Chain A
Amino acid sequence: MSTTNIMIVGVGGQGTLLASRILGNALVQEGYDVKVSEVHGMSQRGGSVVTYVKFGDKVWSPIIGQGEADIILSFELLEAERALPYLRPDGQIIVNTQQIDPMPVITGAAQYPADALEALTANARVTAVDALSLAKEAGTSRAVNVVLIGILASQTKIPKERWLDTIRQTVPEKFQAVNLKAFELGYRYAQER
């Protein structure tokens, strides 16, 4: 009765909710039981945001506890480090190497950790990617979320066409072309590594 647990972390405004919706919808179409837990409201305003996606034959709790995430999909470097205690000992991290300073760093009350990527690789299997550059290559910096979904998708057994269909169904029509391209860039990046 075990589930596969994916934790999506990032900074409010980076589009983690859309990523979790694409992921959740693809999993439903694959026939899994799926639960997705989001947080809305105040914490969305530039704060740390966490979304849980769980799937399997039967999912009870929608949340993921410490040491329970199979995959952490992180939209920002520091946020991956924050989420590290949630990763299973043999788990995997996919991380966007983009750095966004939190307010304590901006005000000088704290330092952005210089060794964040090293802290991740010391504790987990890590796929690091400059998703912001790939998103810009696709046409908009806002497509970081779908680049990362592309990388995640390349490491699942779910057929690529299923992901493309899901993006077509989930994303409004006028943003589809750029998002499909962003997905493709992420998917290929992970395969070519």
Chain B
Amino acid sequence: MRQLMIGNAAVARGAYEAGVRVVASYPGTPSTEITESIVRYPDIYAEWAPNEKVACEVAIGASIAGARAMTCCKHVGLNVMADPVFTASYTGVNGGLVICVADDPGMHSSQNEQDSRHYAKAAKLLMLEPSDSLECRDMTREAFALSERFDIPVVLRLTTRVAHSQSLVEPTDPEIVPLKDYVKDAAKHVMTPANAIRRHVIVEERMKALTAFAEETALNRVEGQGSPIGVITAGIDYMYAREALGDSVDYLKLGMVWPLPEAAIRAFAAAHEQVFVIEELDPFIEDHVRALGVSVIGKDAFTLLGEYTPAMIRRVVLGQADQPAAPAQMNVPVRPPVMCAGCPHRGTFYVLKKLGLTVAGDIGCYTLGAAPPLASIDTTICMGASVSAALGMAKARGASFNKKLVSVIGDSTFIHSGITGLIDIVYNRGANTVIILDNSITGMTGHQDNPTTGKTIRGEKTKQVDLELLCKAIGIDRVTIADPFDVKSFEAIVRREVEADEPSVIIAQRPCALLKYVRYEGHCQIGDQCRRCHLCMKLGCPAISLKDGAVRIDENQCNGCGLCVNVCPFDAIHKEA
């Protein structure tokens, strides 16, 4: 039966139908639901790994051992796993190996807008790019077959609108794919220079074979009825172009985006008076087409920034005006994302803001601590950088600066890559204070378990990494566990720890307010004692607002966490059952 599936669920379905046995990933929007969907299929081993590099290595090991394996990540996750990826290109595969990466044009939930197609070129890999959920399923299956046929890891590239759009898929039965034999083969799997030199020859020969394959595969196809205008496109842009341009142009639809079919591109260009390349982000296809000596219209008429739309394509290619529409209303205030009512991070940032500290931030829900009114965070770079960048800041500016400096990092992000920065602080005689925001879950990506939660991706009980013992084991003598909602005590602890002349860790422990087991009683109410000092407004709680100078608490939004009760200096806020 045809079903609506988001692209991510369709990738999982394709992997299941292709007989995948091992899937290891780290969550990251917009890729997370692939691995979450894998869990629906009971016979597949699935895991959340501590980070993308580890996840990729687990998948590589499974492939070498003879299983079809997959790892999934967001675009910046591919940076983290780049090291094993480049060498896996040399070792090739035994069981098929698929690396699924989801780019985020428009940065719906990301810190940059990188174009992961460059990785396929740089690492000399085969890359496929689906346009809708059906192609997500079909190309994932194809990716495993091609991986084994060409002895190569295959990268499946999605973008947000493919990953998170639902379209129709008709599921089919899974293939029976037996585990391949494992045979020790040092020349293929031990990448010493002597072996790698020989493997590099094979990699370059493989690229030639893949370029020839690109010419003949049905993944790339020409559509149209002989229009003088030709459009070369791939992924979601194909869907936008089809909607915008219909049958008025011809299409070279690329399902395989690396390596590119050079003869097919030349022939398509020769058959058309005008050729457009329509691709979000970088001129990846365009640059290659131009290098072939083919003249095209691309980024000079489109843009390097953000997402494309059918209207934009209609405007550029056909010169058609946009649909008539009501003007944007001028007085509509923006609605940026905010920390939820009851969020444990709110207490932490309230204190950090009050103390006027420099805050090196990290990647997670708590990045929202950068927004007013909390506005505490000074830097956000990448996973783990809060810890290591703060060491750099302290080394650059000295001890007095360091006493006004903290790092904030979530529990999952700390395990991902904060721990290595903390080891650097210990080893290189830093005196930084690192606050681990331990909310007992991976929050921003939608509640995934991680090594600190004591549960696996399937909810099975497992050993729980003890953050306190971990920090002590690497040489942090000052580790304090604190409740960020006990504002007075939390403030005193932060004041004490930043003053210390040795490294310290504060574990701010309180679970995410959205976890099912977190239930606060009743909700908060403003009483007559309110002196309108508006201190509670500094919390940036979505349930607390001002109407004509008076504070009010919206009981539909309030979850009764009581942080405002603790902050109010006049005991004017109380809990109502």
Contact = CB atoms under 8 A, between A and B. Distances in A.
Contacts of B311: 65-66
A37 B165 contact: yes
Given A35-B167, A40-B30, A102 B336 contact: yes
A24 B554 CA distance: 32
A103 B335 contact: yes
Given A38-B6, A113-B329, A66 B165 contact: no
Contact of B336 (A21, A60, A103, A141): A103
Nearest to A114: B331
Contacts of A132: 556
A82 to B, nearest CB: 5
Contacts of A89: 324-326
Given A34-B4, A35-B166, A82-B329, A42 B243 contact: no
A86 B332 contact: no
Interface stretch (A104-112, A147-155, A157-165, A182-190): A104-112
A41 B445 contact: yes
B12 to A, nearest CB: 15
Interface of B is mostly: loop
B278 interface: no
B542 A103 contact: yes
B123 to A, nearest CB: 27
A45 B368 contact: yes
Contacts of A47: 335-338
Chain B interface residue bracket vs A: 35 or more
A43 B6 CA distance: 18
Given A1-B246, A36-B166, A59-B167, A78 B557 contact: no
A177 interface: no
A14 B246 CA distance: 36
Among B338, B365, B368, B445, the most chain A Cβ lie within 10 Å of the Cβ of B338
A101 interface: yes
A133 B388 CA distance: 51
A68 interface: yes
B550 to A, nearest CB: 13
B65 interface: no
B544 A106 contact: yes
Contact of A45 (B32, B236, B339, B546): B339
B331 A107 contact: no
A9 to B, nearest CB: 10
Among B3, B335, B545, the most chain A Cβ lie within 10 Å of the Cβ of B335
B463 interface: no
Among A86, A102, A109, the most chain B Cβ lie within 10 Å of the Cβ of A102
A83 B33 CA distance: 28
B129 to A, nearest CB: 16
B179 interface: no
A86 B325 contact: yes
A70 interface: no
Nearest to A25: B4
Nearest to B557: A100
B326 A84 contact: yes
B240 interface: yes
B340 A104 contact: no
Contact of A48 (B243, B335, B557): B335
Contact of B333 (A65, A78, A88): A78
Interface in A106-161: 106-113, 119, 123-124, 132, 141
Contact of B325 (A82, A85, A100): A85
A87 B338 contact: no
A107 B540 contact: yes
Contacts of B272: none
A140 to B, nearest CB: 11
Interface in B206-256: 236, 239-240, 242-244, 246
B432 interface: no
A145 to B, nearest CB: 14
B325 A87 contact: yes
B444 A87 contact: no
Interface string A63-95: 101111000000000110110111111000000
Given A47-B338, A63-B161, A40 B446 contact: yes
Contacts of A109: 333, 372
A12 interface: yes
Contacts of B2: 28
B165 A41 contact: no
B306 interface: no
Contacts of B337: 12, 42-47
Contacts of A119: 329
Given A65-B309, A65-B322, A107-B372, A36 B165 contact: yes
Contacts of A103: 335-336, 338, 371-373, 540, 542
B160 to A, nearest CB: 8
B44 interface: no
Contacts of A21: 4
B161 A37 contact: yes
B323 interface: yes
A112 B546 CA distance: 11
Interface string B11-48: 00000000000000000011011000000000000000
B427 to A, nearest CB: 34
B423 interface: no
Contacts of B3: 28
Among A45, A84, A85, the most chain B Cβ lie within 10 Å of the Cβ of A45
Given A40-B109, A111-B333, A119-B329, A45 B340 contact: yes
Among B167, B326, B446, the most chain A Cβ lie within 10 Å of the Cβ of B326
Among B32, B324, B333, B544, the most chain A Cβ lie within 10 Å of the Cβ of B333
Contacts of A8: none
A169 to B, nearest CB: 11
B382 interface: no
Contacts of A85: 325-328
6 closest A-B pairs by beta carbon, nearest first, are A67-B323, A41-B109, A41-B29, A67-B325, A47-B337, A110-B333
15 contacts: A1-B246, A11-B335, A28-B168, A34-B167, A36-B4, A37-B161, A43-B108, A47-B335, A60-B239, A65-B309, A65-B310, A103-B540, A104-B372, A106-B545, A107-B540
